[in-house]
Amino acid sequence: MLTIRLSRIGKRKQPYYRVVLQEKTRDPWSPALEVLGQLNPREERSAAILQEDRIKELVALGAQVSSGLHNLFVERKLIAGEKVNKGKITAKRAKAMAEAKKTA
């Protein structure tokens, strides 16, 4: 299955990401089938350089999108839908949050 995800490049403490099309089981640093754009997390998300027409085409053909990129694509209206929660909250953390909400 093909997936569209981020592959980190750049120096230490200066992250820079490529938006790549890869096989889901491959290592993110392995050679990509296709580079679809670039993302600098130190700038605004709107400054990301993307091949929007190619991304729409691949998603229509059934390529999966990682959760972080899914949210970016929803912001840019490349795909329809709602944003996805990227992180998972453990039961212990959920309990602590509920207690904090009660006391507040």
How many domains, the chain?
1
> Looking at residue 62, what is its pLDDT?
93
> Looking at residue 95, what is its pLDDT?
94
Sign of CA dihedral 69, 28, 88, 59: positive
What is the domain range of residue 43? 2-103
> Looking at residue 87, what is its pLDDT?
80
> Looking at residue 42, what is its pLDDT?
92
> Looking at residue 46, what is its pLDDT?
83
- CATH number for the domain spanning 16: value is 3.30.1320.10
> Looking at residue 61, what is its pLDDT?
94
- Residue 26 neighbours by CB distance under 10 Å: 14
10-residue stretch averages of pLDDT, the chain, 104 residues long: 93 94 91 94 89 94 92 91 86 93 86
